[in-house]
Amino acid sequence: MIIDCHGHYTTAPKQHEQWRQAQIEAHSKGVQAPPRPEITDDEIRDSISSGQLRLQRERGTDLTIFSPRAAGMGHHLGDAATSEAWAIACNDLIHRVCSLFPQNFVGVCMLPQSPGTSPKNSIGELERCVRDLGFIGCNLNPDPSGGYWTDPPLSDPYWYPIYEKMIELDVPAMIHVSYACNPAFHTTGSHYLNGDTTAFMQFLTSDVFQRFPRLKIIIPHGGGAVPYHWGRFRGLAQALKLPLLKDHLLSNIYFDTCVYHLPGQELLAKVIPVDNILFASEMIGAVPGIDPETGYNFDDTKRYIDQLPISAAEKTKIFEGNAKRVFSGMASRLNIRGNK
């Protein structure tokens, strides 16, 4: 089985995004948002069958861990109540996709984060998604301000309530910012990678994993700058008199393979232990075009893993075993798959 741990619903029916625009406009005018739009099962089927499901079949993957569109989370828009309503709408739509295509998709939720709003505010939606909708993880935005980093770092006790709930529910979080409203940052070219690297450094300089040894964190996009600068981070840890990174972080932090060329995947697999790498593509997402050097899509990441100079057993860990271990709730979902 090949499990893609990083997929977003980037092809959602257009009335979903239209409602979001109307919601934000209503908030700006101080009036009530319109009711959520009617979206039929057939519209959802069409949006998936011609998009993610088609690419699954073409590329030879089996199951996608699926969440709302990351750039669409927009936690900096509106207020806490706006974010909560939007998160519920997005997560409900993911649940419908997973119910219509249980063989192919399993849900991960976005959280109703808002700048300056305690992560405690997200606990209710996380519980609903895991306990009622069968989701197996969440996306956690370390910068709800959209590029201004106004909230405390992930090392701060401010975040402890959501960590405690994640451990109680036994679900991991993927660190994922949303789109940048700061014009200094390109959303996918710099803000995403900044978020990944910044989160890693915040954990490195903290005792979060000593306080929460069962906490599971996935840093996407190959970890941003982390593998490329592994020596820098090792040296900083040494200068700060911290334990070796393998002991300090690698029992809790994992990296995905949303790296869009073979040399990058080779570096990731060379620097980061295989047990800490989860297969992912983020299709249809940040880089959807065809690489003229290969003739294949940049985000067809399975091709890169297939070419790595590692054993078949190690590839199986990347493609399947590690995801099953990190997303412990997947076992029950796979049983559902098997019974269909």
| Nearest of 50, 56, 45 to residue 101 by alpha carbon | 45
Crossing angle of helices 14-29 and 80-100, in 10° steps, is: 170
Catalytic residue from among 84, 125, 282, 314: 282
- Is there a catalytic annotation at residue 84? no
Dist. CA 268–CA 262, nearest whole Å: 10
Closest among 142, 147, 151, 150 to 183, alpha carbons compared? 147
Contacts of 182 (CB under 8 A, 6+ apart): 146, 147, 148, 191
- Which of 256, 254, 249, 211 lies closest to 233 in space, CA to CA? 249
Alpha carbons 22 and 14: distance in angstroms, whole number: 13
d(CA 127, CA 41): 25
Instruction: Give the dihedral of Cα atoms 308, 310, 312, 314; nearest 10 deg.
Output: -110
Which of the residues are catalytic?
282
